């Protein structure tokens, strides 16, 4: 799926997490939004962005730091969730531009957090589950994780897995590979 301009936002979020049940009263909150802008017509990524988000109802656990590389001190310097949502809409046209993520987790996490905080959902309705498209295009029985999909596609993992900015960049690479094969919805290979 592409917009009239051919641009697509690829979004990957990291959220507070724990190795078992969350502490009493804590909920999973977005702490990083990675966004890569893909120009499907030109066949390349044209923007790479990272927004750190300050959690208010949870803290970054040691498990979360080990997984994402993010610390509480780093995210404490981030934007509030409402401000991050406004920034997405203002600078990246997230309300109107189509977007993709690897699976539906990111879309659902935004929905849950917006509902819980009474903040307007910043993303448009034109969402593509890149994992589902990849699975179908490669005729796989099971939907692979992003790192496994990179291996299947013959692409290298760039950066750190579970870093929102790096994961969005890598997902964009998978989408560009699918587009070049003519397997991305609404896009024909040149």
Q: Are strands 7-15 and 99-101 parallel, antiparallel or unpaired?
A: parallel
pLDDT tens-digit series, residues 27-72:
999 999 999 999 999 999 999 999 999 999 999 999 999 999 999 9
Q: What's the pLDDT band for 1 if we cut at 50, 70, 90?
A: low
Domains of the chain, each with CATH number or no CATH: 7-180 (3.30.420.10)
Per residue in 68-113, pLDDT (tens digit) is 999 999 999 999 999 999 999 999 999 999 999 999 999 999 999 9
Crossing angle for the helix pair 105-117 and 81-92, to the nearest 10 degrees = 120
What pLDDT is recorded for position 165? 98
The first and second tokens of residue 28, run together, are: 């999973």
- Reported confidence tier of residue 189, pLDDT bands at 50, 70, 90: low
pLDDT surpasses 90 at 190: no
Distance of alpha carbon 169 from alpha carbon 159, whole angstroms = 9
Q: What residues pair up with 38 in beta bridges, in sequence order?
A: 8, 45
């Amino acid at each position: 799926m592409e917009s009239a301009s051919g641009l697509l936002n690829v979004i990957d979020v990291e959220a507070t997490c724990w190795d078992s049940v969350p502490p009493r009263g804590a909920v999973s909150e977005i702490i990083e939004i990675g966004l890569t802008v893909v120009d499907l017509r030109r066949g390349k990524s044209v923007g790479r962005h990272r927004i750190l988000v300050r959690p208010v109802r949870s803290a970054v656990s040691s498990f979360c730091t080990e997984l994402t590389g993010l610390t509480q001190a780093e995210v404490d310097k981030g934007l509030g969730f409402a401000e991050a949502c406004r920034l997405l809409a203002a600078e990246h046209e997230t309300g109107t531009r189509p977007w993709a993520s690897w699976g539906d987790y990111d879309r659902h996490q935004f929905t849950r957090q917006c509902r819980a905080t009474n903040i307007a959902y910043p993303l448009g309705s034109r969402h593509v589950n890149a994992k589902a498209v990849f699975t179908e295009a490669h005729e796989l029985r099971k939907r692979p994780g992003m790192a496994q999909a990179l291996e299947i596609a013959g692409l290298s993992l760039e950066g750190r897995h579970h870093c929102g900015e790096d994961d969005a960049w890598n997902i964009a690479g998978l989408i560009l590979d699918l587009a070049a094969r003519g397997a991305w919805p609404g896009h024909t290979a040149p």
